[in-house]
Amino acid sequence: MKKIAVDMDGVLANVYELYHQFHERDFGKRKLPEEIMGIPEGEAFPTIRQFIYETGFFLNVPVIEGSQEVMRKLNQQYELYIVSAATEFPKSLPEKQTWLGQHFPFISWQQMVFCGSKKVIKADIMIDDHFKNLDYFEGQTLLFTQPHNCRNNDHQHTRVDSWSAIEKLLL
Amino acid sequence: MKKIAVDMDGVLANVYELYHQFHERDFGKRKLPEEIMGIPEGEAFPTIRQFIYETGFFLNVPVIEGSQEVMRKLNQQYELYIVSAATEFPKSLPEKQTWLGQHFPFISWQQMVFCGSKKVIKADIMIDDHFKNLDYFEGQTLLFTQPHNCRNNDHQHTRVDSWSAIEKLLL
């Protein structure tokens, strides 16, 4: 059975929606899409690290559209692992695990990996929104479109714009 | 630079010492070495899972002798990762990270991995006390002697009885 390593933030978890909400709470207005296109998350939302350190941040992230249904199907045909770069924010670890349990109850603790770097991850396919993770990976790479990566027309990775695109590719 | 994946419980963290202490607290006497030799941890200490769920358990584990000095040296010559199967006990994750920060301050968050299964780990060398982790690993495997594994004379893995044995092999 082929192994898939699925990223969490920006692939399963809609962190951008929460960045927008926190930004609006703190600055009174929402950023326009064109203001954040092609810009690293930390530059688009300069107070992002402060949001991320808030207790409960990761518990409240909305789920990315379509991810639950497609993940449920993938889980039957692949050895599925959630691989999240999370040790930079130690408090986020139990929150992320709780969030996964709530929204992806078919994913067991055996299928979760919380790490700092993804250079030690071995699988056949990696789905991620960050080049820094995909570039080191030795298997098939799917780049999940997010504002920060949308202007980089790299052709080393297969770009996917939605979970239905992943479904078409892998199921 | 070669990558080493180092296990935490039973390799860096002396969990047996804490199992003994909890057992003595609850049953009034310490188990004899011969009572636990070659027996899985959960059978040797039947209330082990209850200890592990106690808040603070992983904060209070003593460090295995010699591990700090040798790890500091390995960290200069190898790409070192701590890989701990920890997601079965979600509350342990921040405790384990705090413990690492206290006893191995030269290990950064980028070098930490908390997972359920080690089947997704890629490195050149793995140091672990459990066959279930070493048996799936594709690189060089060092089996760190602990009571639960000491009667299994498997020759697939290189047995190491101490951190000075690791030092001799790898440095």
Q: Tell me the pLDDT tens digit for each residue of B73-128.
A: 999 999 999 999 999 988 889 999 999 999 999 999 999 999 999 999 999 999 99
Nearest CA in chain B to A124: B120
Q: So what's the pLDDT on residue A152?
A: 83
- Locate the chain B residue with the closest alpha carbon to A125: B120
Q: In the CATH hierarchy, which top-level class contains the domain B3-14+61-170?
A: alpha beta
Section B46-57 average pLDDT: 84
Contacts of B91 in chain A (CB under 8 A): 94
Work out the pLDDT band at B154, boundaries 50, 70, 90: confident
Q: What is the ipTM of this complex?
A: 0.93
Residue B152 has pLDDT above 90, yes or no: no
Q: Which residue has the higher pLDDT, A52 or B68?
A: B68
pLDDT score, position B51: 81
Domain spans in chain B, listed from the N-terminal domain onward: 3-14+61-170, 15-58
In tens, the pLDDT along B9-26 reads: 999 999 999 999 999 998
Residue A34 contacts B, CB cutoff 8 Å:
no
What per-residue confidence (pLDDT) applies to B90?
A: 85
Which pLDDT score, from 0 to 100, does residue B43 have? 93
Nearest CA among B18, B20, B37, B39 for reference residue B28: B20
Does residue B122 sit at the A interface (CB-CB below 8 Å)? yes
Confidence of residue B147 (pLDDT cuts 50, 70, 90): very high
Distance (Å) of CA B76 to CA B73, B79, B104, B106, B140: 5, 8, 13, 10, 19
* Gap from A112 CA to chain B (nearest CA, Å): 6
Strands (E), chain B: 3-6, 79-85, 112-115, 125-128, 140-144, 158-160
CB contact under 8 A, B93 and A98: no
- Binned average pLDDT, 10 residues per bin, chain A of 171 residues: 98 96 92 94 89 86 98 98 93 93 98 97 98 95 97 88 98 96
What are the residues facing A159 on neighbouring strands?
A143
> Could you tell me how many CB contacts below 8 A there are between chain A and chain B?
91
Burial of A9: CB neighbours in 10 Å, binned 0-12, 13-18, 19+: buried
The residues that bridge with B159 in the sheet, in sequence order, are B143
Contacts of B81 in chain A (CB under 8 A): 117, 120
- A135 as an active site residue: the answer is no
| Residue A124 annotated in active site | no
Compare all CA atoms of chain B with the CA of A120 and give the residue at the minimum distance: B122
Q: Is a pLDDT exceeding 80 seen at residue B29?
A: yes
pLDDT at B55 over 90: no
- Highest-scoring range by mean pLDDT, A83-97, A112-126, B50-64, B152-166: A112-126
pLDDT of the residue at B91:
84
